[in-house]
C-alpha cells in the first residue's frame, strides 16, 4: 500500500509544471479574448452550431456557462447551446497537456468533439425548426462568464498568475485524489475486475462514461482522462464522457432557464447524443 501512495504522489508531482503552464496559457486566452468570443457567439446566426462548437473547444467550462445564459435569453438556438455543451472539454485538455506525450491525442479529441458538436447542433436546429427572436430583451450574461471560478478572482484586468496558480493547485489535488483512488482500487480488486466493472471492450462502455460525464464538476473530466490514460476506458468512451460533460454549464442552465421540462430535454439530448456517437466510434473501431 505504501508503494501505491508513493507512486501516486510522484506521478502527480511530475505533472505540476506542465499543468501550471497549461493554465497560464488558458487564463491569458480567456482574459484577452472572452468579450470578443462572446460577441461572436451572439452574432453567429445560422452558423451558431459551427461557431458554438468552435468556442466550446476553449478549455474550461466558461463558454458553456455563457451559452446557457444566452440560450435562456433566446439569443442563440438550442442547437447552438447543445453544440457548445458537446464540444466543451472542461479540465480534460489541461490534464492531457500535463502529459507531454499526448499531443496527438489532444488534437484527436478536439477534432472529434468539434465535429460531433456541429453535426448534432445543425441536425437539432433543422429538425426542431425553432426560430428564436434575436430582438428579445437580452439578460446581462457577462457576470456569469467566469462563474465557475469566481472564488479565485478570475476577472478581467486582474493578474493571470494568481488564478492560474489556484486552478493548478485545485486540479492537482483532484488528480492526486482521483489517482490515489484509482490506484487503490486497482491494487485491491485488480485490473481484470476493474475492466469488467467498466465494461472494458464492450461497445456499451460509452454509456457508463457519458453518465460519469454528466457529473457537474471538473472531477468528472479529470476522472475520465485518468481512466483513459491508465487504459481502463476506450477512446470512444472518453469521447462520450467528455461530450456529455459540460462542466457547470448545465447547472447554470437549470438556474437561469426556468422551463424545467425543456432543461431536462436538453440534458437527455446531450446524454443520448454522447452515448450514440461513443457507440458509433466504438463500432467503427477508432482507437
Of 13-17, 52-56, 143-147, 161-165, give the lowest mean pLDDT range: 143-147
205 near 158, Cβ under 8 Å?
no
pLDDT tens digit sequence for 43-100: 666 677 888 888 778 766 567 777 887 788 777 889 999 999 999 876 777 778 777 6
What per-residue confidence (pLDDT) applies to 134?
Answer: 37
**DSSP annotation of 257:** -
Could you give the C-alpha distances from 190 to 144, 183, 223, 224, 266, in angstroms and in order? Answer: 44, 9, 18, 19, 38
120 near 50, Cβ under 8 Å?
no
pLDDT tens digit sequence for 191-205: 567 667 777 778 889
| Total domain count, the chain | 1
**pLDDT-derived band of residue 17, with 50, 70 and 90 as boundaries?**
confident
Q: What is the largest CA-CA distance in the chain?
A: 62
Position with higher pLDDT, 244 vs 188: 244
Helix (H) or strand (E) holding 200: none
Burial state string for 190-217 with b = 16 or more CB within 10 A and e = fewer than 16: eeeebbeebbbebbebbbbbbbbbbbbb
User: What are the grid coordinates assigned to 262, written together?
Assistant: 425543456
Of 103-112, 133-142, 267-276, give the lowest mean pLDDT range: 133-142
**Residue 118: which domain range?**
2-284
pLDDT above 70 for 101: yes
Among candidates 187, 180, 216, 210, which has minimal Cα distance to 198? 210
**pLDDT-derived band of residue 255, with 50, 70 and 90 as boundaries?**
confident
User: What are the grid coordinates assigned to 167, written together?
Assistant: 486552478
Position with higher pLDDT, 206 vs 15: 206
Quick count: other Cβ atoms within 10 Å of Cβ 47? 14
**pLDDT-derived band of residue 231, with 50, 70 and 90 as boundaries?**
confident
pLDDT above 60 for 141: no
Distance of CA 226 to the CA centre of its chain: 14
Helix axis angle, 103-128 to 78-87, nearest 10°:
160
Count of residues in the chain: 287
d(CA 26, CA 233): 27
**pLDDT-derived band of residue 36, with 50, 70 and 90 as boundaries?**
low
pLDDT tens digit sequence for 157-189: 567 788 888 877 877 887 688 778 777 876 777
d(CA 287, CA 275): 16
44 near 52, Cβ under 8 Å?
yes
Percentage, residues of the chain above pLDDT 90:
24
pTM of the model: 0.71
What value does the mean pLDDT take over residues 11-16? 73
Quick count: other Cβ atoms within 10 Å of Cβ 13? 11
Among candidates 140, 136, 187, 167, which has minimal Cα distance to 60? 167
d(CA 242, CA 92): 8
**pLDDT-derived band of residue 115, with 50, 70 and 90 as boundaries?**
very high
Among candidates 276, 274, 201, which has minimal Cα distance to 233? 201
Quick count: other Cβ atoms within 10 Å of Cβ 151? 10
Amino acid at each position: 500500500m505504501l508503494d501505491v501512495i508513493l507512486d501516486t504522489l510522484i506521478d502527480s508531482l511530475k505533472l505540476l509544471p506542465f499543468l501550471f503552464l497549461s493554465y497560464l496559457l488558458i487564463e491569458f486566452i480567456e482574459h484577452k479574448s472572452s468579450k470578443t468570443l462572446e460577441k461572436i457567439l451572439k452574432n453567429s446566426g445560422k452558423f451558431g452550431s459551427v461557431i458554438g462548437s468552435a468556442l466550446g473547444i476553449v478549455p474550461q467550462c466558461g463558454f458553456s456557462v455563457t451559452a446557457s445564459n444566452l440560450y435562456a435569453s433566446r439569443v442563440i438556438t438550442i442547437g447552438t447551446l447543445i453544440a457548445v455543451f458537446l464540444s466543451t472539454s472542461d479540465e480534460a485538455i489541461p490534464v492531457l497537456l500535463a502529459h507531454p506525450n499526448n499531443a496527438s491525442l489532444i488534437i484527436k479529441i478536439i477534432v472529434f468533439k468539434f465535429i460531433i458538436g456541429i453535426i448534432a447542433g445543425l441536425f437539432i436546429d433543422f429538425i426542431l425548426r425553432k426560430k428564436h427572436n434575436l430582438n428579445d430583451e437580452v439578460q446581462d450574461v457577462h457576470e456569469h462568464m467566469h462563474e465557475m471560478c469566481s472564488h479565485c478572482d478570475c476577472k478581467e484586468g486582474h493578474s493571470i498568475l494568481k488564478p492560474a496558480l489556484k486552478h493548478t493547485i485545485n486540479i492537482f489535488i483532484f488528480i492526486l485524489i482521483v489517482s490515489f483512488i484509482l490506484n487503490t482500487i486497482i491494487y485491491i480488486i485488480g485490473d481484470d475486475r476493474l475492466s469488467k466493472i467498466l465494461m472494458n471492450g464492450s461497445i456499451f462502455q460509452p454509456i457508463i462514461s457519458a453518465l460519469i460525464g454528466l457529473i457537474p464538476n471538473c472531477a468528472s473530466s479529470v476522472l475520465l482522462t485518468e481512466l483513459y490514460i491508465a487504459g481502463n476506458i476506450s477512446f470512444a468512451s472518453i469521447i462520450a464522457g467528455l461530450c456529455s460533460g459540460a462542466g457547470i454549464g448545465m447547472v447554470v442552465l437549470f438556474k437561469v432557464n426556468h422551463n424545467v421540462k425543456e432543461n431536462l430535454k436538453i440534458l437527455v439530448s446531450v446524454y443520448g447524443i454522447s452515448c450514440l456517437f461513443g457507440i458509433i466510434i466504438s463500432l467503427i473501431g477508432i482507437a
